[in-house]
Structure 1
Amino acid sequence: MKSNDDGISTDIAIVVQGNYPLDRDVRTRKIAKSLDESGSNVAILGRNSLEDPDLGQVKSSYPPRKEDIDYAHVRRFSWLLSTPLFGLVTAKVPVNPFWILWLVIQFRDTEPEIVIPCDIRAGLPAIVAAKLSGIPTVLDLRENFAELARVKPIEHVMDYVVLNRTLVGAIEHLTVQLADLVWVVAEERKENLVAAGKAESAVHVVGNVPLLREISAFTRKGGEYDNAEWPGFTLVYVGSINKFRGLDLLIDGIWHANRNPDPKPVHLAIAGDGPDKERLEQRVETLGITEHVDFLGWIPPDTVTSFLQSGDVGIIPHEVSSYTNQTIPNKLFDYMSVQLPVLTTPTRPTARIVNEINCGKVLPYHATGSVTGTVIREMQQSTEYSTWAENGRSAIESQYNWEHEMEKARSVLTGRFNVSI
């Protein structure tokens, strides 16, 4: 039994929508590790599954129903695991009665003092089960799901249901209203929830920022891209490739910037994949700039740092919308962590941070490819380049880091629920 500095431990259950651990579920891991290090006993409740291609240490067979990992005790919903009915009873729908019943049983067995459901698919059943068990809840709301449903492309028949903005919005609103506390990733998202009727005192920002201890010093980590020699002043991008990411504008900017290749050409390296990749590759060919743009596909996580440091500017070209105006992409803080100046479109949260810190440049609203190319050249020739780089890293160390965010979060939990964390 763990305990904190006061000799008192707090039992906390984190509910996830799929299996755990997952390589890509960095936020859940950071929350669990931070609570574990503060002396809390952490249980992570998820579904048993092999269907997710990004499963981390859960790879070759169905994992056990219970498993202890370094920082948490994991319990997996495994009813009817070896039968054809397993897919039905584990369906990732907010009103799955089997999932709710299983959570009630787990809560009564583990007796958590706080339940933290992650996002709305895990949120509604976890909150219902917690209320039946008399346990307070903290909804970790990582996205604006109603607006995300609006911008994501329809790729499968089920997307007409899964991405129905009215349905998703209703579920999200109900989940937020039922939660005792809500964590969001940006101040702008907090404003949105308060305007929709949630008490301001019940909404708190816990940003998607990096752990200080996991950030390298100012020197590079060893990696595949340490010795990369891109042909010119290089812009780097990491992330999904779909329509609302705004890469069309960036590619047009590269074409305009290279109409005059002096003092040296401008290059773009894109690490990622998605439904828009093939179309963008064709566009690059049509513009005749294949020598200035590299599509690398997904790169291994342990090479991302060296990839970013091989570039000169980190890019966030997302289209401005009601979705991007209420969220902050993780890549902003990744860029800042490695002293990479940032070029972003004027989405509200990202532009606010870049302007406040002075760690790069913000494109004007409705920027064209020509304007984007001009701004890229301005950054290339600017005397502020080193200032932008240093300001970004300094802000990570002093403010935008996970240790700082969790210190605030633990203080709120302690005061609101009268627990010791």
Structure 2
Amino acid sequence: MRIGMILDKTYPPDPRVENEAVSLIENGHEVFLFCLKYANEKGEELIKGIQVKRYISNKFIYKSSALAYTIPVYSKLMSNKIRHFLISNKIDIVHIHDIQIAKAAFKAIKKTGLKTILDLHENRPEIMKFYPHLQKFPGRYLIAIKKWKQKEEEFIKKATKVVVVTEESKQEIINRVGVHSNKIVVVPNTVHQSYVNNATFNQEIIEKYSTQFTLLYVGDTGLRRGLSTAIESMDVLKEKIPNIKLVIVGSNSSDVFLKQQVADLEIQDYVDFEGWKNENLFPSYIKASSICISPLHRNLHHDTTYANKLFQYMSFGKPLLVSDATAQKNIVEKAASGLVHKAEDIVDFTEKVLELYHVKVLQSKLGENGKSFIENEFYWEKTSKDLIELYANLNL
């Protein structure tokens, strides 16, 4: 089968797109990837068996994508490019990654009879509520989140099949949109079995934190990720755990607020802002850590998704401390790989850190449970089987 994946970004990197494409190729399919380019990237390139086809974009098109469901410019421009991609590569089935480009893709395939897979990486309409540019003029007036939600529901109904990241997301869509459960397939963002074995370590990072009791967070540091809870907790924890350190590996435009919080509390010696690092360094930070955290705030988006960092943490046998955002709470409790604190509750977060610090056997047991869960149950080669089966059962 000649699968045409549609992505409204540059490629690489995109781990989910790559993982899905490579697995489908390994199972006998051909995968062609429509993506964008803004500079001098090659128009065509073979990457890990993926036949990458890059189409020229520019700043105007990029900015107009935010208005995809306000004015038709973006969708019209993209649909012409996608139509060319589908015809020139003789595509059999279209796999659309997220809803930003979905309108353009459905417009391009109109009257072709091609079946479609709508792959929802996240609940985009819900997470858009937290985008800074939608909190102020002109974004809040130009971009109608309600319209995005309506379009998402329209495309869910229109697609042949829908792929989501968690069971919680699947159930939310069933309840909200009213589609049958058979239409939705869950394909979690998990790590490969080789993730640990292929890891390389930076000894400088490991030695830097070798004498510390380290709380580690990796990834986007936007305020909704809950790091302010961990920072506030450090003001208490430093009195209880003298060698404690909060290490934050990642960045966001809102970091200025987190750094100001640290300064106001005068805990600069207990919090390291490492900034964004190449993902190849994540294993070193994880190995150097004592506890790995994900203190997400509660909202519909966070309740129906979980970050890949959880599985990276568990792969190296580290105990987790996560907020009670539904999806991550459920997976951590299923794996018995960590403790759960009430979201945005500084006291509860602090108590859970102290419990892990004082009960070393608990640290070890939770870490072992998480590692075993990844090795035996929740790794990409196993969790991707439903995606492979989805394509095997499609009748073109």
Q: Give CA deviations for 1:129-182 in whole Å, capped at 9, x if unaligned.
A: 234321111111001011101122237756336753212212222222211111
Match of 1:276 among 254, 269, 275: 254
Structure 2: distance between partners of 1:386 and 1:62: 47
> Which deviates more, 241-250 or 146-155?
146-155
Matched, 1:266 2:244: yes
Q: Is the 8 A contact 2:229 2:344 kept in 1?
A: no
Q: Which residue of 1 aligns with 2:130?
A: 151
Matched, 1:379 2:379: no
Distance 1:163 1:268, change over 3 A: farther
Match of 1:331 among 304, 309, 318: 309
| Paired letter, 2:354 | R
Matched, 1:42 2:31: yes
Residue 232 of structure 1: how far off its partner (Å): 2.7
Structure 2: distance between partners of 1:325 and 1:89: 29
Q: Is the 8 A contact 1:149 1:164 kept in 2?
A: no
Matched, 1:206 2:187: yes
| Paired letter, 1:128 | K
Residue 89 of structure 1: how far off its partner (Å): 10
Q: TM-score, normalised by structure 1?
A: 0.86
Q: Is the 8 A contact 2:200 2:280 kept in 1?
A: no
Match of 1:299 among 263, 277, 289: 277
Paired residue secondary structure (2:275): coil
Q: Give CA deviations for 1:79-129 in whole Å, capped at 9, x if unaligned.
A: xx7xxx994599533642232133223222322222111111122222332
Q: Give CA deviations for 1:255-284 in whole Å, capped at 9, x if unaligned.
A: 1122334xx432100011112211111211
Structure 2: distance between partners of 1:290 and 1:119: 39
Paired residue secondary structure (1:323): helix
Q: TM-score, normalised by structure 2?
A: 0.91
Q: Is the 8 A contact 1:103 1:129 kept in 2?
A: yes
| Paired letter, 2:169 | R
Q: Give CA deviations for 1:46-71 in whole Å, capped at 9, x if unaligned.
A: 22323xxxxxxxxxx2432x333331
Matched, 1:418 2:374: no
RMSD between aligned residues: 2.3
Q: Is the 8 A contact 1:11 1:40 kept in 2?
A: yes
Residue 385 of structure 1: how far off its partner (Å): 1.3
Residue 207 of structure 1: how far off its partner (Å): 0.3
Distance 1:18 1:319, change over 3 A: same
Matched, 1:228 2:223: no
| Paired letter, 1:13 | G
Q: Which residue of 2 aligns with 1:11?
A: 2
| Paired letter, 1:333 | F
Q: Is the 8 A contact 2:186 2:386 kept in 1?
A: no
Q: Which residue of 2 aligns with 1:189?
A: 169
Q: Which residue of 2 aligns with 1:179?
A: 159
Distance 1:211 1:413, change over 3 A: same
Q: Which residue of 1 aligns with 2:319?
A: 341
| Structure 1 stretches lacking a partner, 5+ long | 1-9, 51-60
Q: Is the 8 A contact 1:89 1:98 kept in 2?
A: no
Distance 1:162 1:47, change over 3 A: farther
Q: Is the 8 A contact 2:23 2:388 kept in 1?
A: no
Structure 2: distance between partners of 1:157 and 1:179: 34
Query: How many residue pairs get matched?
Result: 386
Give the number of the structure whose residues are more often helix, by fraction: 2
Structure 2: distance between partners of 1:63 and 1:212: 31
Q: Is the 8 A contact 2:295 2:343 kept in 1?
A: no
Distance 1:127 1:398, change over 3 A: farther
Q: Is the 8 A contact 1:255 1:373 kept in 2?
A: no
